[in-house]
Amino acid sequence: MTKKGKVSTLSLAVLMATSLSLAACSNNANNGGDNSAAPSSPATSSQSNSTTEATPAVKDLQPYEVSIYMPGSPQKDQSAVEQNIAELLKDKVPNTTVKLNYVDWGAYQQKTNLMLQTGEPMDLVFAPEWYQFFSNAVKGAFLALNDDGLPQGNLLEQYGQGIKSVIDPLYLEAPIVDSKLYAIPTNKEIAQGRGFAFRKDIIEKYGFDVSGVKELKDIEPFLQTIKEKEPNIYPVYANKQDSAADWQPDYGYQPLFSNGAFINRNGDANKVISTTDAGYAAKELEGYKLLNEWYKKGYVNKTAATTQEKIADVEAAGKIWWVPTTTAPGRAEAQRIKNTSGQGPEFWDWIVVNSQNPLVTTPMATGSQFAIARASKDPVRAMMVLNELYVNKDLLNTVVFGLEGKHYNKVSDNKISLIPDSGYSPGNGWIIGNQLNNYLLDNEKDDKYEEYVTFNKTAERSPLLGFNFNPDPVKTQVAAFNTIWDEYKDILRTGAVDPGPIVQKRNGKLEKAGLQQIADEVQKQLDAWKVANGK
């Protein structure tokens, strides 16, 4: 998942882990919704796929609307799309309609957390790791999908056989809390590498050899050329929200809690260290110092600390020539963006250089997934619909792309061209279901999904896949950590100040606020997890 091309610095923990903030669901979620009620029909155990007939029990289903919550802009033609979805479901999941609830990205986490907390009825919820999934699972906001003790039975075994037939079993090792599975990950790339995307026209114009770029400092030989010969392009772009400058490899440090606790894969992988560990702190400071040097040389935009320009808008306007990015099959095509500068090509094309091999971690495997809310009035029906999104290609592509001839045109059997301003273009292809069943866009490689399969099989597996830190035992320290981190992160990531004194002051505050207690709690939970899982 991931959001397009967005990675974070060493100091920001590679975005492989995001801050587990204190604002999670209250324990009221345990009581929100009557999950002891029987489903709308007798439970049946059958595999849902695109060829089987509905069983007699399934045909007896009573009318029910499955609500699906996911981030995105509300779409003009949602009603027409929902009608088509009901038609596509009628043979496999009869008497079932679907309500697509798109919530703007900026409001999604707050709105869905409030709904989960108050027990407002909802069925399928986009619940990635970076939207407080594990905190919500611990607090009872979601139903366990592999729990034989539920009144509805084991939802995955009875109604999710289609999911099990297509998804990499590794995915199902990740969204687990106390041996219970609380979400189904989207079937897409399970890992991510890290690297850089460079604008193709600039690379070709100046003959830059970027093949050897492995870390931030390797870009420096090109910056003076851009500064002197491309006055309308920032050699390095930075702002407080999205900074093309805030990238460093993780140097083998895998985050276990936000920016505060890590293990060193190249050292003692059993020992949890904190932000102030000498080795980690030296690498973090090294990156900040480099940004500050570039700022003083005039490579970084002087408005970095104050600008409100979003990096996507700056990209489209042709004002930047490189961005940090996650790497996976199809990344160069995904990076392609329409030119809004009024001159030059219609689209900016990019070259992607991989600088760090892909790794499968818990945050990566849980970066896009759906859970069933405890307040669901019919968890069985929700699971049936979720299962169909993994095996019913027509259904999935309707949810993702809308209606043929109205929202897209077929270019070939499996390729489409989107119709501009069509009324339905939610951009949710990476969010839901089995992405390997998505139509390819006309600019995508024919073998994109075959590359995904190979990519997933060859990626390095973290030995800690499935470990999730529960911050509740140190929630006071975590809240203090987040407050202090937020106080200093913006000014450091712009390169506008000498980082040495600021990092020293920040780290001192973190230690006084209980950073070591957090690291000790992570260590305690990690040790217990290893014993429980025979690691």
- The arithmetic mean of pLDDT across residues 355-383, rounded, is 94
pLDDT digits (tens, 9 = 90+) for 105-144: 989 999 999 999 999 999 999 999 988 899 899 999 999 9
Mean pLDDT over 230-236 rounds to: 96
Q: Is the pLDDT of residue 14 over 60?
A: no
Q: What is the pLDDT of residues 216-230, one digit of tens each?
A: 899 999 999 999 999
For residue 330, give the nearest of 139, 193, 154 by alpha carbon.
193
> Could you tell me which residue, 303 or 19, shows the higher pLDDT?
303
Q: Which residue has the higher pLDDT, 193 or 373?
A: 373
**Residue 508 banded pLDDT, cuts 50, 70, 90:** very high
Domains and CATH numbers, the chain: 34-188+365-461 (3.40.190.10), 192-245+303-359 (no CATH), 251-299+469-535 (no CATH)
Distances from the Cα of 19 to the Cα of 58, 86, 135, 219, 362, angstroms: 42, 38, 11, 29, 14
pLDDT above 80: residue 457: yes
The pLDDT value given to residue 338: 87
Return d(Cα 194, Cα 364) in angstroms, integer.
12
pLDDT at 67 over 80: yes
What is the residue-averaged pLDDT of the chain?
A: 87
Report the C-alpha gap between 510 and 283 in whole angstroms: 18
pLDDT in tens, 388-403: 999 999 999 999 999 9
Place of tokens 């805030």: 246
Q: Is pLDDT above 80 for 319?
A: yes
Q: Do residues 278 and 472 make contact, with C-beta atoms less than 8 angstroms apart?
A: no
Q: What is the pLDDT of residue 249?
A: 60
149-173: pLDDT as tens digits: 999 999 999 999 999 999 988 889 8
In which element (H, E) is residue 65 found?
A: strand 64-71
Whether the pLDDT of residue 30 is over 70: the answer is: no
Q: Output the CA–CA distances (angstroms, integers) from residue 93 to 47, 68, 89, 313, 371, in the order listed.
A: 12, 16, 5, 42, 19
The pLDDT assigned to 57 comes to: 61
CA distance 136 to 155: 19
